[in-house]
Amino acid sequence: MSTHTHTDINKPQIRILSDDLANQIAAGEVVERPASVVKELVENSIDAGATLIRLDIESGGKKKIRIMDNGMGMRPEECKLAFSRHATSKIFEFSDLETIQSLGFRGEALPSIASVAKVRCTSARSETQGGKLIVVEGGTLVEEKDFACPQGTTIEVAQLFYSTPARSKFLKGDSTEFSHITQVVTQQALAYPAIQFQLTHNGRDVIQTLPTDQIHYRIAELFGADLGKSLVQVSSSSGDYQLEGYVSNPVYTRSNRSAQFCFINGRFVRDKVILHSTQQGYSHLLPKGQHPALFLYLTMDPKLLDVNVHPSKAEVRFAFQQDVHQFVSRSIREALEKNMQAPIEAVRSESDDIPIHSNYRKPIKTPSWVGKSDETTSQGNLSDALRTMAGGHGFESQTTTPSSQVTWFDKPPIPVSHLIYSEFEPLGQLDSSFIIMQGKKGLLVVDQHVAHERILYERFREAAKEKKIEVQNLLFPLTVEFSPAETEILTPHLDRLQQLGLELETFGKNEFLLRSVPAILKNIDNEKLLRDTIELLPKGGDENVLHDKYEDVLIMMSCRNAIKVNHPLNLDEIRKLISDLEQTTMPFTCPHGRPISLLFDMDDILKKFLRK
């Protein structure tokens, strides 16, 4: 027996939703968690021209979010209107969507938030004109009255999702929710360094920034001096695009993307095109699993960008995606090759007074939440060698061993990213594998294999670019047989491989004759070289994939021919190697991203010998 209930054909099926229900549906898109509320309200403060924004958070934002600003404020008659759907001061007609300059424009944030929380708003254009108090709970206006308050707007959001308890069950713990809020405030503080941000959680100061016109100061303020010292300046323009900002040099890496921030026309975005283009810019400069720090500010004509993709406005669409990708990738590569170190200066300790509510406290210089950077140092076998040199088992300890009476260094040797090698004088080798050099800055240890690998790679890459690779014809062509699958991979790339010096000729069904190899490759197993090359070749793919794979082939060839460990060098050979290394565009990391040299700081050495 069927349990299906027949629909009354006379009953209307399409109806207009009530404002309350429509607002709650919109809230599902706009208000995902407390951090979503913070993002929307801070963006409103920024659009209002605020120079100081204070955020007081309780219980990860689940209990209370209070945001105060000294922006232009709202007229008394506008305060109530701001809680109506699609009420906005940012756009007026359809054409405005093509040239959006403000952060907000949809007119959905306030009514969406007010539909799922208890909201109290006070705002005034000026203290002399007076302001307005608006209280909305669960989408219902419960209070409206004149209210004396200073210029600006204060919005308090309490009991988020109290009217939709099912939604609150999806929230995480207080610390997790607050970490998302901290991330949002960090994003906005990086986007607008001229604005002073103050963030507290349960009465505890967490972020306190000083207004500045130097983004580098703001980065150091939020992430610490260690990261600040590792930054390389990016400044590039091409046609409709301009890119400014900072990226970390290749020897400073992190195990995650937590220090990657990209802004387009002042808006923080998470975009796959930008992310991939930055990876392309660092191509073959970083160890696997490691990521650079990025603080990039891309400016373009708003008509070339669609920010109205999602209510969160974190996703964008480019009119000319490939142009943006190539521009960003090229800009980062050029910046890394120029290696313009960002000047490190102390962040100002005083700031001009900014009019704001009387209970604002003076900002502190360094936020308490900033931790040590997770700088990664790939030391390889060098650690063991230098432990022997130091007479102990590690650098971290500050004690002495009864057997050797050798004191450990306070800090491990650091990968270098800006030293001039010619300022150091070579002394010799360690274990026939590492070059030891001395200079005013300390003791420099260079990995001879990866240094030579960098030299060969850049020579090889330049020769391949100019199609001038010198080849060595084999006296007897080498016959190599492959599987059918390998043959299918290899055949489309024969012309490109010939440009790299590998001349192959089909010989039978799945056999090839290798007639020449690059002259730079000496005394290596040619068949193994060929099979290793096939493993790196792409199975189809776009031009970017092909480019990456051919770069992998160049790196593999360079690695095969580089000076090996346990290879003795005299001082003249060492000087020649260092001189060649200094001429490269990237003399501080090998093509695999490993550091080429480590510095034992002279101040640390002097300190340990009680001379400082």
Please count the CA atoms within 13 angstroms of the CA of 262 that sit on its side-chain side. Answer: 21
Which SS3 state, helix, strand or coil, does residue 592 take? coil
Strands (E), 74-203: 118-124, 131-137, 140-147, 152-158, 196-201
Question: For the chain, what is the mean pLDDT?
Answer: 76
Please count the CA atoms within 13 angstroms of the CA of 93 that sit on its side-chain side. Answer: 1
Q: How far apart are CA 28 and CA 167, in angstroms?
A: 9
Q: How far apart are CA 287 and CA 322, in angstroms?
A: 26
Cβ contacts of residue 301 below 8 Å, gap of 6+? 240
Q: How far apart are CA 114 and CA 136, in angstroms?
A: 6
Domains, in order of start, for the chain = 19-204 (3.30.565.10), 215-338 (3.30.230.10), 377-612 (3.30.1540.20)
Q: Where are the alpha helices (DSSP H) in 466-517?
A: 484-490, 494-499
> What pLDDT does residue 104 have?
47
> What pLDDT does residue 11 have?
58
Instruction: Identify whether the C-beta of residue 274 lies closer than 8 Å to the C-beta of residue 224.
Output: no
| b/e code 324-340 from CB counts within 10 Å (16+ = b) | bbbbbbbbbbebbeebe
The C-alpha angle with vertex 444 and arms to 408 and 601, in degrees rounded to 5, equals 45
Q: How far apart are CA 132 and CA 381, in angstroms?
A: 69
Cβ contacts of residue 384 below 8 Å, gap of 6+? none
Which residues does residue 119 pair with via DSSP β-bridges, in sequence order? 136, 157
Q: How far apart are CA 131 and CA 68, in angstroms?
A: 14
> What pLDDT does residue 312 have?
53
Ranges under pLDDT 50 in the chain: 2, 24-29, 87, 89-100, 102, 104-107, 343-406, 541-542
> What pLDDT does residue 186 have?
92
> What pLDDT does residue 9 have?
59
In the structure encoding, which two tokens stand for residue 19, read together? 């404002």
SS3 letters across 368-420? CCCCCCCCCCCCCCHHHHHHHHHCCCCCCCCCECCCCCCECCCCCCEECCCCC
Q: How far apart are CA 171 and CA 34, in angstroms?
A: 9
| Burial bucket for residue 299 (CB in 10 Å: 0-12, 13-18, 19+) | middle
